[in-house]
Chains A and B, each alone.
Chain A
């Protein structure tokens, strides 16, 4: 107990004595703000549960997610040892849901690694450089913004074949322009501030100014936007799966599972409903967390 209190005091001190302590203290204060937001913590908890479910899917699953048993098809939840019932091919829905979490996380992770990064680079470079570079980059952004997501995905799938990777590529390519716009707008307000002038007067070049001084201030609003968009990304991926353009059967992707259950929706409601609830709850969780992060990360608030 005394060590945990010592740690708390160390983190909350007004006079940090090292770079590491100052950084940890800033993180800890952010965590305290986030923790005071009940809904955001609820969202975070749901996401942690999802992450754990994905990691420990082989341990938690009661059945092989791919094993078919036509004798046990369309069992209601609870029947025959199937916690959430079985689908039209007799596969255990609970186990498929767990493995499906892996696919959802995989999709989200891939999109998050591509879209915001591209958007951040394009937006900050356009905003800081100005002039014809700005015009060129932003018109490019407008062109990408004009592509409807699903139509582009269809084109990609037609060209490269159906699959998660191509769906992710299509989503990423259409998801970055909003980030570029946010980053550019932030950069425009930051670039003429005195602290950017001050670092220019120290002889810093544009690369250092953009990466070390402008990025840290843009990233917070991007992180908020990404968490809020996460729900949309999952829904788009599920939508592609539903249309048969994303993950291919027999992969337990949630959108594809709903699509398969569609035929039996009147007699066996659980086949489509349960993956639907899963998509709904993690989308909601991401939205709640995003709202909480906005309170923590907004640089203009300056936690005092």
Chain B
């Protein structure tokens, strides 16, 4: 059974003459436990797909089946127990007036988790933050630490699927590597399914097995990471992306 099955998804913003299609007729599947990457330049609609799955964009058509649930215009509470999201900017994704403890305990309360106290301790351990971070405010944390808190919040309800919206692009290179390794470890430990958006082929190649390349709201190509490494892309746009990312490394 596939964890995510998207058929003919179209997402738009605005009405009538102002309507702009951000995603056009996209279909893909992600198997249970798989990690799927969405790559493309900014404005290609990759983040919009995640937001549509998460229920943050109400204007979409097509068919989405996620974790066995066919999605309608509204998401059920049980949906959010199975699907969580990590946002791009760790400086904007934590409430400036809430401590780490408040963020995590509120998430657990909303999902009806019991013995919150011990679970918060374990969760902070899981994401590599000690108990000393529990009662800090976001402004007392660095970008990498904040992103760890955001990951902990996403894992608070033991979801099966985590949507990652460029989780490392706002961080330093060294911190990026730490967060990527953390995500890899967590995936093994909790048997998570990832859908990850990135514009960085290296990041996606590190974490994902399959990659969907997007351009102007459409899928150009879906290929495996091995094929990408061997540079066996078929579409000219993918080849162009690969070449430019290899050149930027040199």
Contact = CB atoms under 8 A, between A and B. Distances in A.
Interface of A: 14-19, 21-22, 26, 193-195, 197-204, 212-213, 216-217, 299, 302-304
B217 to A, nearest CB: 21
7 interchain residue pairs of minimum CB distance: A22-B135, A194-B93, A16-B135, A15-B132, A302-B139, A203-B80, A194-B87
Interface in B137-168: 137-140, 150, 153, 156-157
Contact of A195 (B81, B94, B101, B156): B94
Contacts of B93: 194-195, 197-198
A193 B156 CA distance: 21
Interface stretch (B9-17, B60-68, B105-113, B204-212): B105-113
B111 A217 contact: no
B92 interface: yes
B171 to A, nearest CB: 15
A164 to B, nearest CB: 36
B136 A201 contact: no
B56 A200 contact: yes
Nearest to B56: A197
B35 interface: no
Contact of A217 (B54, B55, B97): B97
Nearest to A192: B56
Chain B contact residues (Cβ within 8 angstroms of A): what range? 35 or more
Nearest to B85: A201
B190 interface: no
A303 B139 contact: yes
Nearest to A23: B99
Nearest to A20: B135
A131 to B, nearest CB: 12
Contacts of A199: 95, 106-107
B84 interface: yes
A193 B92 contact: yes
Interface string B103-138: 000110011000000000000000000001101111
Contact of B110 (A19, A202, A213, A304): A202
Nearest to B138: A302
A19 B135 contact: yes
Contact of B92 (A195, A216, A302, A304): A195
Contacts of B110: 202-204
**Chain B CB within 10 A, most for which of A14, A18, A26, A202:** A202
A212 B103 CA distance: 11
A108 to B, nearest CB: 26
Contact of A194 (B89, B102, B136): B89
A26 B138 CA distance: 12
A22 B137 contact: yes
A293 to B, nearest CB: 16
B57 to A, nearest CB: 11
19 contacts: A15-B132, A15-B133, A193-B92, A194-B88, A194-B93, A195-B95, A200-B56, A201-B54, A201-B55, A202-B106, A202-B107, A202-B156, A203-B77, A203-B110, A204-B106, A213-B95, A299-B97, A302-B96, A302-B138
Nearest to A197: B56
Contacts of B94: 195, 198
Contacts of A26: 137
Contacts of B80: 201-203
A198 B87 contact: yes
Contacts of A213: 95
Contacts of A195: 92-96
A19 B89 contact: no
Contact of B135 (A21, A216, A302, A303): A21
A201 B54 CA distance: 7
Contacts of A197: 54, 56, 85, 87, 93
Contacts of A198: 85, 87, 93-94, 150, 153
Given A202-B107, A202-B110, A22 B136 contact: yes
Task: Kindly name the residue among A15, A212, A303, A304 whose own CB sees the greatest number of chain B CB atoms within 10 A.
Answer: A15
Nearest to B130: A15
Nearest to A198: B93
